[in-house]
C-alpha cells in the first residue's frame, strides 16, 4: 500500500516520545514507504540547539510540508507564550481540525457523537495583543480610547485585544466548506456572540454568511455560543461541523473531547494552505510521563488524519477501524480507560488488527 511520503516527526517531551513511538508502529504497519525525518522542539531542542523551536525543525517541516508531533511542555519563563502557538504562527497553520466521535466500548453519557470542531487558529483573543494593568502602554491605550470614542476604562484594568479580520475569517470559512465537501459532511454551525460583540464576532458571522452563496450542498446555520454550549451538552448528536473563532474553538474542542471519553482519544490537525502539522489535543502529561502507560490512541488517530491528508485513504480508514476493533474488544486498554496495558501493548494490538 502507498507511495513514498516524507514526514517530519517531532516526538515532543513528557509522554510525547512514548505515544510517538507507538503511533509510528501503527502507521508503518498500515502504509509502507513513509520516510520519517525526526526533529526536536521544546526542552530537548533547547539543550541540543540552544533554541526551543530550532530553524532546522521549521526547515524540515517546510521541506516535507507535513509533520506529526507529540505534545511539548512550554518551559516557564521561556519568552514564548507557547511553542505550539509559535509553530502555528511561523507556518501560518490557520485552521485547527479536531474530530470527536463516539468510540466503541468507551462508555459516555451520549452515544452517537460524530462531530468536528474547526477552529480559527491565528486571531481573536489569542493574537497576543496584551496591555498589562498599570503599564505605560495600558495608560496610553486608555488615553487613546477616551480621545477616539469616549470609552472610559478603569485605571487598574488589564486589556486583551480581540482582532477578527475579514481576510482571516474568509480563509477559515473557505477551509470549512472545502472540508465539509471533501469529507462528506453536511452541516456547518457557526458559534458566535454577535449580539454583544458585533464588530468582531458579528464580522465573523457576516463573513461566513457571505460565503454561503457558493455553498453547494452544505447546510449552514449559526448559534449564539452560550446556547451552542448547552445544546452540545444536551444533544451533541445534532451537530456535525462546528466553525468557531479561536477562543470558543479552544474551549469547545475540550468539551467535545469530554463528550466522547477524554483527552487520550482525541486527534487533531493544524492546517494552512501550505503546511499541515498533526498532533493529539492532549498535553505532555508530566504526571504519567516515563511510565509507559499513556494512551496512544489520540496520537494514532492523529496519524490516521495525516494519512488521509497524504491521500492514503485506505490506510487512514484501516487505522481507524483497527482502533475501533481493539477498543470494542476491550481487553487491551491503558489505565485512563480502566485497563492495565502499556502504551506499546495498545499500539501492537492495533497494528495486529490491521488488514494483512
Ligand atoms: P495534559 O493534557 O498534559 O494532561 C491533563 C490530564 O490528562 C493529566 O492527568 C494527564 O495524565 C491526562 N492525559 C493527557 N493525555 C493523556 C494520554 N494520552 N493518556 C492518558 N492520560 C492522559 O494537560 P496539562 O497537564 O494541562 O499540560 C501539561 C503540559 O503540556 C503543559 O506544559 C502544557 O503547556 C503542555 N501542552 C502541550 C500541548 C501541545 O503540545 N499541543 C497541548 C496542551 C498542553
Residue with cell 469530554: 258
d(CA 210, ligand 1 centre) in Å: 38
CA atoms of 204 and 339, how far apart (whole Å) = 44
Q: Tell me what pLDDT residue 3 has.
A: 53
- Sheet strands side by side (includes 276-278): 34-38, 5-10, 66-69, 276-278, 269-271, 95-101, 114-120, 241-244, 187-192, 219-224
Per 3-state DSSP, what percentage of the chain is helix, strand, and coil (rounded to 5)? 45, 15, 40
Q: For ligand 1, atom 39, which residue shows the shortest CA distance?
A: 71
CA atoms of 35 and 27, how far apart (whole Å) = 11
Q: Tell me what pLDDT residue 216 has.
A: 76
d(CA 209, ligand 1 centre) in Å: 36
Low-confidence ranges of the chain (pLDDT < 50): 1-2
Question: Which has the closest alpha carbon to 192: 207, 179, 178, 177?
Answer: 207
Q: Tell me what pLDDT residue 252 has.
A: 96
Q: For ligand 1, atom 12, which residue shows the shortest CA distance?
A: 285
Q: Tell me what pLDDT residue 2 has.
A: 47
Question: Which has the closest alpha carbon to 98: 327, 256, 258?
Answer: 256
CA atoms of 199 and 221, how far apart (whole Å) = 20
Q: For ligand 1, atom 8, which residue shows the shortest CA distance?
A: 285
| Residues labelled catalytic | 126, 193, 226, 250
CA atoms of 64 and 37, how far apart (whole Å) = 9
270, 95 contact by CB (below 8 A): yes
Probe residue for ligand 1, chosen from 285, 303, 334 as the CB with the greatest number of ligand atoms within 8 Å: 285
Question: Model's pTM, two decimal places?
Answer: 0.92
Probe residue for ligand 1, chosen from 266, 268, 284 as the CB with the greatest number of ligand atoms within 8 Å: 284
Q: Tell me what pLDDT residue 1 has.
A: 46
* Ligand 1 site residues, Cβ closer than 6 angstroms: 15, 19, 71-74, 84, 263-264, 279, 282-288, 294-295, 298, 336
Closest atom, ligand 1, to C-alpha of 297: 18
Q: Which residues contact 281 (CB under 8 A, 6 or more apart)?
A: 98, 253, 254, 257, 263, 266, 267, 268, 298
Question: Which has the closest alpha carbon to 244: 293, 306, 172, 175?
Answer: 172
d(CA 284, ligand 1 centre) in Å: 4
Q: For ligand 1, atom 23, which residue shows the shortest CA distance?
A: 283
Closest atom, ligand 1, to C-alpha of 15: 18
d(CA 184, ligand 1 centre) in Å: 31
What is the overall mean pLDDT for the chain?
94
Closest atom, ligand 1, to C-alpha of 336: 20
DSSP reduced 3-state for 97: strand
Amino acid at each position: 500500500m502507498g507511495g513514498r511520503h516524507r514526514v517530519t516527526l517531532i516526538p515532543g517531551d513528557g509522554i510525547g516520545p512514548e505515544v510517538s513511538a507507538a503511533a509510528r508502529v501503527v502507521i508503518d504497519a498500515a502504509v509502507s514507504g513513509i520516510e520519517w525525518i525526526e526533529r526536536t522542539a521544546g526542552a530537548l531542542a533547547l539543550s541540543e540547539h540552544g533554541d526551543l523551536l530550532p530553524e532546522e525543525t521549521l526547515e524540515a517541516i517546510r521541506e516535507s510540508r507535513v509533520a506529526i508531533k507529540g505534545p511539548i511542555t512550554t518551559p516557564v519563563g521561556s519568552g514564548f507564550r507557547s511553542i505550539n502557538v509559535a509553530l502555528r504562527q511561523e507556518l501560518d497553520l490557520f485552521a485547527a481540525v479536531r474530530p470527536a466521535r463516539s468510540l466503541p466500548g468507551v462508555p459516555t453519557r451520549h452515544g452517537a457523537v460524530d462531530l468536528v470542531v474547526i477552529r480559527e487558529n491565528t486571531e481573536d483573543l489569542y493574537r497576543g495583543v496584551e496591555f498589562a494593568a498599570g503599564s505605560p502602554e495600558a495608560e496610553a491605550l486608555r488615553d487613546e480610547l477616551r480621545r477616539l470614542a469616549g470609552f472610559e476604562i478603569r485605571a487598574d484594568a488589564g486589556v486583551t485585544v480581540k482582532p477578527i479580520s475579514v481576510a482571516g475569517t474568509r480563509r477559515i470559512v473557505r477551509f470549512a466548506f472545502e472540508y465539509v465537501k471533501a469529507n462528506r459532511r453536511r452541516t456547518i454551525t457557526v458559534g458566535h456572540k454577535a449580539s454583544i460583540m458585533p464588530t468582531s464576532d458579528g464580522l465573523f458571522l457576516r463573513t461566513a454568511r457571505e460565503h454561503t452563496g457558493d455553498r453547494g450542498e452544505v447546510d449552514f446555520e449559526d448559534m449564539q455560543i452560550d446556547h451552542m454550549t448547552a445544546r452540545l451538552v444536551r444533544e451533541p448528536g445534532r451537530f456535525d461541523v462546528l466553525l468557531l473563532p479561536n477562543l470558543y474553538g479552544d474551549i469547545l474542542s475540550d468539551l467535545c473531547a469530554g463528550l466522547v471519553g477524554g483527552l487520550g482519544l482525541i486527534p487533531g490537525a493544524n492546517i494552512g494552505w501550505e503546511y499541515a502539522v498533526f498532533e493529539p489535543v492532549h498535553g505532555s502529561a508530566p504526571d504519567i510521563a516515563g511510565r509507559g502507560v499513556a494512551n496512544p490512541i489520540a496520537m494514532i488517530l492523529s496519524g490516521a488524519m495525516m494519512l488521509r491528508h497524504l491521500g492514503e485513504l485506505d490506510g487512514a480508514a484501516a487505522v481507524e477501524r483497527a482502533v475501533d476493533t481493539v477498543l470494542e474488544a476491550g481487553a487491551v486498554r491503558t489505565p485512563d480507560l480502566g485497563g492495565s496495558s502499556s502504551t506499546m501493548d495498545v499500539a501492537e494490538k492495533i497494528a495486529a488488527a490491521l488488514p494483512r
